[in-house]
Amino acid sequence: MREMSPQQVSEYLQEKNNKPLLLDVREPWEYDVCRIDGSQLLPMQTIPHSLDRLDPKADTIVICHHGVRSKMVARFLEAAQFENIINLTGGVNAWAQSVDLSMPRY
């Protein structure tokens, strides 16, 4: 698993050939408050039963509020043989503080 800061993820997303899955593992109410554009909601507790919905070879950036749940999910995905997992360090909270200053925070 790789770790990327919000700035690194933002730059990574701006590269022409990078279209990773932005996997948001927060709860629906959190996703309703704020989200990174293009992210897909799949709450943490649903991941073990949803592996068939994910591509184990795809670049996948895992997102949560502060980066703790996403790190746990990233480790789980790696143990399930997913190859290109990136954890967003600091989660959407850090994203709102450094990349999208207009993003609501909670």
Is 92 among the domain residues? yes
Q: Is the pTM of this model over 0.85?
A: yes
- Are 69 and 25 spatial neighbours (Cβ–Cβ below 8 Å)? yes
Q: What is the pLDDT of residue 81?
A: 97
Hey, what are 71's tokens?
Answer: 């790190």
DSSP reduced 3-state for 71: helix
Backbone angles phi, psi at 21, to 5 degrees: -80, 125
Q: What is the pLDDT of residue 91?
A: 98
Q: What CATH code is carried by the domain that includes residue 68?
A: 3.40.250.10
Q: CA neighbours within 13 Å on the CB side: how many for 81?
A: 2
- H or E, element range at 60: strand 59-63
In terms of residue numbers, what domain contains 67?
A: 2-98
Is 103 among the domain residues? no
Q: What is the pLDDT along the chain (106 residues), one digit of tens a residue?
A: 999 999 999 999 998 777 899 999 999 999 999 999 999 999 999 999 999 999 999 999 999 999 999 999 999 999 999 999 999 999 999 999 999 999 999 9
Cα separation, 101 vs 80, in Å, equals 35
Q: What is the pLDDT of residue 17?
A: 79
Domain tally, the chain: 1
Is 39 among the domain residues? yes
Q: What is the pLDDT of residue 16?
A: 73
Could you list the active site residues? 64
